Amino acid sequence: MALAGPAPIASPLAELMPADLPLREHVQLQGLWHRYANATAGDWTLQGIDLALHQGELVGLLGPSGCGKTTLLRLIAGFERPERGSVLIDGRAVAGQGRWLPPERRGVGMVFQDYALFPHLDAWRNACFGLRRGQDSSRASWLLELLGLNGLEGRYPHELSGGQRQRLALARALAPGPSVVLLDEPFSNLDVEVRLRLRSELPAVLSRCGASGLIVTHDPEEALAICDRVAVLRDGVLHQCASPRQLVQHPATSFVGRFVLQGNLLPAQRCGEQVVTALGSLHAKAGSSLLPQGGAAGDSEEVLVSPEAIGLHPDAEGEAWVQGREFLGREWLYRVQLGDLKLRLRLPLEAEYSRGQRCRLTLRPGALGVLFPSQQALQVGPPAQRP
Ligand SMILES: Nc1ncnc2c1ncn2[C@@H]1O[C@H](COP(=O)(O)OP(=O)(O)OP(=O)(O)O)[C@@H](O)[C@H]1O
C-alpha cells in the first residue's frame, strides 16, 4: 500500500522569507573559505567553495581523507563559522553577509556514521526528539513506517540492528521537516547487504520528504550510484560538481579522472596530430584536430585512460610486471608497474597471470582517452600497418 505523506511542514526559516521567494535552491555556498584556529597562515581547509543544492536532489561530497568534506558539512550545519563567504539556506544567509544563525535555527537535519541516537530514549522518542513544542508527531510515525520501523517504536537503540539504527537516525533527522539533510558517511558502519539496500532507498526517502541531501562518502562507486550530482573535493578545492554521467564522460581535471573513475594517467607528448604515450598513440576524436595545449605554457600533458583501455601481453622481455591482482567476481583488477607508472587494468577471468609476470602493455584499438589539462577527448587509432 502506498503511504500518503503528511502535509509539508514549513521550514523554521519560512517566517524569515519573503512570501514570493521561489525555493529552488535549498542550500547555496558562496565563496566559502575556512581554516581551523590552530592552522598556519596559508593553511586553508576549504578554499572558495561555491556549491548549490536544489530542492529534492541528493548531492554526493567525494574526496580523499582530510580534503574537508566533514568541515563543509559543519559549516552548513552551523558548528563552524566560515572565515570568508556565506551559507544560504532557503534563500536566506545563515552565515556570512553579516548574519549568523545557530545550528538549531537552521532547519538542517544531520545523520552521522555512528547513528548518534539517544541510548536512554526508545525509537519513538528518538524519532520525535527534534520536533518543536506542539509540532504534529504524525510525520514521525509516517517516517517510521516509510523506513520499515513500524512495530519497533518501543525498542531502545541497543535493541536494534545497525541498519535499523541508521533508519531511525534518518527518521529522526527528517521528522522536523528540514529542507536539507546532511549525511556524514551514514553507511560505513553497515554490512554490505544492508548498506546497498539503505543507500538505494535514500534518494526516494529524501524525495518523498521534499528534502535535499548532501552525503559525504569516500567511495566513488557509492556516490556515482545514488547521487544526482557529485562534488569532488581535493585539499579544500572543489574540482567539479556534475552529474555522475558528466563526471564519467567529461572529468574536469586529471584528479577527478584518477580518483572518481579510478583511471590511469599516462604522461604524454605531442607528435604532429598524435598524442604519444608509453603504451601507444591517440588522436583527437572524430577526425578533429588537436586543440592547442591548455593550461600554462610548459605544463606537461597527461592522458587519462580507463582500466579497460589497456591490454596486457605476457612477454619475458617486457618492461612491465604484474604487482598484484584482485578477483572482482566477473573480472580481474590487475596492478601493473611500468617504470614509475602504477597502472590498473581490468581483464577478463581467462587472463590469469601471477605476481611478477613480465609483460608488455598496449592501448586497445578504439579505446577512449582524455587529454589534460585541455580536457580534449581522444581515441586510440587503428594499429599501425605492418610493412
Ligand atoms: N577541529 C579541528 N581542528 C583543527 N583541524 C581540524 C579539525 N577538524 C578537522 N581538522 C583538519 O581539517 C582537515 C579536513 O578535515 P575533515 O574532517 O573536514 O576531512 P574529511 O575530508 O572529512 O576527512 P575524512 O574522510 O578522513 O573524514 C584535516 O586536515 C583535519 O585534520
Q: What is the pLDDT of residues 275-288, one digit of tens each?
A: 999 999 999 987 68
- Give 131's DSSP letter: P
CA of 337 to the centre of ligand 1 (A): 32
CA of 184 to the centre of ligand 1 (A): 13
ipTM of the complex in this document? 0.98
The answer, yes or no, to whether any atom of ligand 1 lies below 6 A from the CB of 64, is no
Instruction: Ligand 1, residue 218: give the atom nearest the CA.
Output: 25
Residue stretches of the chain with pLDDT short of 50: 1-23, 383-387
Q: For domain 22-248, which architecture applies?
A: 3-Layer(aba) Sandwich (3.40)
The answer, yes or no, to whether any atom of ligand 1 lies below 6 A from the CB of 45, is yes
Structure-block grid coordinates of residue 158:
541497543
Instruction: Ligand 1, residue 72: give the atom nearest the CA.
Output: 18
List pLDDT tens digits, range 87-104: 999 999 999 999 999 998
CA of 71 to the centre of ligand 1 (A): 6
Q: In the chain, where are the structural domains located? A: 22-248, 262-380
Name, in order, each residue with C-beta under 8 angstroms of 160's C-beta and a sequence gap of 6 or more.
123, 152, 168
Instruction: Identify which of 44, 45, 80 to mutate to test ligand 1's pocket (most ligand atoms within 8 A of the CB).
Output: 45
CA proximity to 169, closest of 129, 216, 134 = 129
Cα end-to-end distance, the chain, whole Å: 71
Distance between CA atoms of 107 and 15, rounded to whole angstroms? 12
SS (H, E, C) 95-120: EECCEECCHHHCCEEEECCCCCCCCC
Nearest CA to ligand 1 atom 12: 45
Residue 338: CB atoms within 10 Å: 18
Distance between CA atoms of 181 and 89, rounded to whole angstroms? 12
CA of 62 to the centre of ligand 1 (A): 14
The predicted pLDDT at position 298 comes to: 57
Cis upstream peptide for 178 (omega within 30°): no
Structure-block grid coordinates of residue 246:
558528466
Phi, psi of 73 (to 5 degrees): -60, -40
The predicted pLDDT at position 22 comes to: 44
CA of 226 to the centre of ligand 1 (A): 25
Residue 33 near residue 84, CB atoms below 8 Å: yes
Q: For domain 262-380, which architecture applies?
A: Beta Barrel (2.40)
Nearest CA to ligand 1 atom 25: 65
Instruction: Identify which of 44, 67, 239 to mutate to test ligand 1's pocket (most ligand atoms within 8 A of the CB).
Output: 67
CA of 65 to the centre of ligand 1 (A): 8
The answer, yes or no, to whether any atom of ligand 1 lies below 6 A from the CB of 68, is yes
